[in-house]
Amino acid sequence: MATTQPAAFPDGFLWGASTAAHQVEGNNVASDFWQAENDGSWGLADRSGDACDSFHRWPEDLDIARDLGLNAYRFSIEWARVVPAPGHPSPAMLAHYRRMIEGCEERGLTPVVTLHHFTNPAWLTAEGGWTSDGAIAHFAEYVRAVLPILDGVRWVCTINEPNMVAFMAARRKQGLGDGSPFLSPPDPGVTAALVRAHAQARELLAAVPGVRSGWTVANQNVQDHGAGPDRTAEVSYLIDDQYLDVAKGDDFVGVQAYSRLRVGESGIVLPGPDDRRTMTGWEYYPAALEDAIRHTAARLGASTPLLVTENGIATSDDDERIAYTGEAVTGLARALADGIDVRGYLHWSLLDNYEWGSWEPTFGLVAVDRTTFRRTVKPSARWFGQLVRDPAATLGGPAAS
C-alpha cells in the first residue's frame, strides 16, 4: 500500500466504544442465554449474573465515555426485557432504554443502537427460535414497540453478526460447544430467517425520520494459505460475503474485525504454537481491520457507507491493547486516505464484560470489579482519548506502509 497521507479523519467522524446488553446489564433473566447459563444446556463455563450492573450504572458508563472525549456510544436494546412475553411489550423497559438514548444525547454522545445482539427471549427459543413459524412476526412486533423511542437516533444496527448467530445455531444443533469459529458452516435456515428479519426491520425503521439502518458482519478476513483462490472464495462467501451481500442498498454496514481466517489445502488453518495469540485463542492480527474495511468496500461498492462497530483485543496486557488498536486505526486511516467511506470507529469494548460464557477474556478500556462494580479507567482508555483528540500525533505521524 503506497498511501502516505497523514492520519486525518473527517469532521463528524464517530469515535466511540461499544457494549451489548446481556454482557453488561446483568440479570437478563428472561433471555435464552440466561436460561442456558443456569441450566447447563450449552456447556458454558461461567454465568453472567450481575454482569457489570450497567442496567443501573449506565449513567456512570456514559460519563466515562464522555470524559474520555468520545462522541459515540454503541449499546443494545434487550428484546427479552422489552417483550418478556409475546404480545406484551413493557412500557417500563422501553422508558429505560429511552432514558439511555437521552443520556447519550445529553453528554454529546451519538447513540448507536443495536436491536438484536445474540440473545433471544427464552419464550422464542422454546418455540423453536429463528426458524419457528412465528419468529419474523415476533421480531417485527418487537421492532414496532421500539420505534417510538428511537426519535433522534441516527444509527440503528438491526442484527449483530448474523453470520455468528447462524454459526452458533449450527453448532448447538450438532450438540457441540461454541468451539473454534467456522469449523462447521452457518445454519442455512437461520441465515434465511435473519435475512427476512433484517429486511422487515429495515422497512419498519424507514418510517423513523433520520434513522440510518444496517446490520453488522463479523468479518473473518478469509485468506488463501494453500487452498487456492476458488476454494478461498467459497469459504469467504459462506461465512462472510453472503451476509455482506444482504447489506447492498442498506444505509450502512457495520464492520467488525478482530483477526483473520487462513484456509489451507485441508481446510481451516488454526493458529499454531508459533503464532502470537490473544486471550480468546485468536491470532494477534491488527491488520484485520484494514483488511475487513477494504474487502467490504470492494464487495459492496462506494454507495454503502461503512461504520466500524467493533474492533479490539482480548488481553490482560494494556500495552498490548494500545499497540493493537494503534495498528488497527492506522490501517483504518490508510483506507480513509484511499477514499473508502468509513463513518466511525467504535472500540470493543468500553468495559471488561461477560464474553458469552466466560469472564476470562478482557476486551475493555475500563476494568470492572465484579463485587463492587467499581470502574477503573485503564491507561489504554486514556490513550484512546488522546487518539480521538489528535489522531496524527497519537499514531505517530503519517499513516503509511
If pLDDT is split at 50, 70 and 90, which confidence band does 179 have? Answer: low
Which position has the higher pLDDT, 396 or 50? 50
Task: Indicate the number of domains in the chain.
Answer: 1
Establish if 245 belongs to a structural domain.
yes
pTM: 0.96
Task: Give the helix/strand (H/E) hosting 201.
Answer: helix 188-205
84 in Cβ contact with 90 (< 8 Å): yes
For residue 237, give the DSSP letter: I
pLDDT of residue 178: 55
97 domain residue, yes or no: yes
pLDDT at 184: 76
CATH of the domain at 222: 3.20.20.80
- Per-residue pLDDT reduced to its tens digit, 350-393: 999 999 999 999 999 999 999 999 999 999 999 999 999 999 99
Structural domain that includes position 133? 14-387
For residue range 279-316, list pLDDT tens digits in order: 999 999 999 999 999 999 999 999 999 999 999 999 99
Q: What is the per-residue DSSP string for 65-99? A: HHHHT--EEEEE--HHHH-SSTT---HHHHHHHHH
Q: Is there a domain that residue 9 lies in? A: no
Does 269 map to a domain? Answer: yes
Whether residue 293 lies inside any domain: the answer is yes
Spatial contact of 132 and 79, defined as CB atoms under 8 Å apart = no
Active site residues: 161
* Paired strand residues for 268: 263
SS3 63: helix
150 occurs within a structural domain: yes
* Residue 87, in any domain of the structure: yes
Hey, what's the cell of 45?
A: 463455563
In a domain, 77, yes or no: yes
